[in-house]
Structure 1
Amino acid sequence: MLDRNVLLTQLSFVQQAHRRLERLAQLDEEAFLANEDNIDVAQNRLRIAAEAAADIGRHIVARMGWGTPTSYPDVFVRLATHGVLSPSLAERMGELARFRNIMVHRYPLVTP
């Protein structure tokens, strides 16, 4: 059985990150890039959203007995395989997860 508290907690992280990113998206490119803190906040909130989404997915995959994902992107593939996500959404979420991996493991390669 799925743990509602786990899902709601992780979903709240996604929602909080989304709200912060929406505010940053209101800035034009010049204003966004003029403040280094904007870039830091955007990268941090994208990472938080990606990790929380993957945690939601991993919880579902584990509780449903759909194996052990080998990576963050694999979480979304498994969800699509079992009809929880559409293939196109799973692909986009996988791209976000790969971008998260670049931000975390190869930080100097990420440029605004």
Structure 2
Amino acid sequence: MDWGLIEQKLESLRRAVSRVAENCPEEVPDLVRDYDAQDIVSLNLTRAVQLCVDIANHVLSESDLPSPVTMGQSFELLEELGVIGPELCVRMKKAVGFRNLAVHNYDVIDWAIVHAIARHHLGDFKAFAEAVLLLRG
């Protein structure tokens, strides 16, 4: 496995999550009014999800499992390999759902949901990174 590449992606993930944490206002109405914060938070959340998918697929490329057909399936296959647990798998698949909405239907984003992700679920990305690093030994 190319750990240099994985570490580079993990550092990009750390930066994206940090940007979300630093730029998400304390309250939902503040996010609704702040278009710059909306852009920074949504862009970096979608980056974080995409980086996790990329990392998952890199890990999966070293396995005998078939290639995932969907982004969400990348996490299901990691669960099958025992890299992540079932709860984290579900949360990462929900993150993919958010990413798809943000990328394809930006005009209908529910900023309360984005706020909840940014304020209460950034730990999912850290948990994912820690699970991947455990593979290194």
TM exceeding 0.5:
yes
Q: Tell me if the contact between 2:60 and 2:78 (Cα under 8 Å) persists in the aligned partners.
A: yes
Could you tell me how far 1:109 is from its partner in structure 2? 2.3
After TM superposition, the score normalised by the length of structure 2 is: 0.75
Could you tell me how far 1:77 is from its partner in structure 2? 0.3
Q: Which runs of 5+ in 2 are unaligned?
A: 112-137
For 1:30 and 1:106, the matched residues in 2 are separated by 21
Equivalent position of 1:96 in the other structure: 95
- State the Cα deviation string for residues 44-100 of structure 1 (Å, max 9, x = none): 001000000000000001122321001110000000011000001011001101111
Could you tell me how far 1:26 is from its partner in structure 2? 5.2
Equivalent position of 1:69 in the other structure: 68
Higher relative contact order (CA 8 A, sep 6+): 2
For 1:102 and 1:30, the matched residues in 2 are separated by 20
Could you tell me how far 1:110 is from its partner in structure 2? 1.5
RMSD: 1.4
Could you tell me how far 1:29 is from its partner in structure 2? 2.7
After TM superposition, the score normalised by the length of structure 1 is: 0.90
For 1:77 and 1:106, the matched residues in 2 are separated by 25
Could you tell me how far 1:40 is from its partner in structure 2? 0.9
* Partner amino acid, structure 1, of 2:27: D
Q: Tell me if the contact between 2:24 and 2:37 (Cα under 8 Å) persists in the aligned partners.
A: no
State how many pairs are aligned. 111
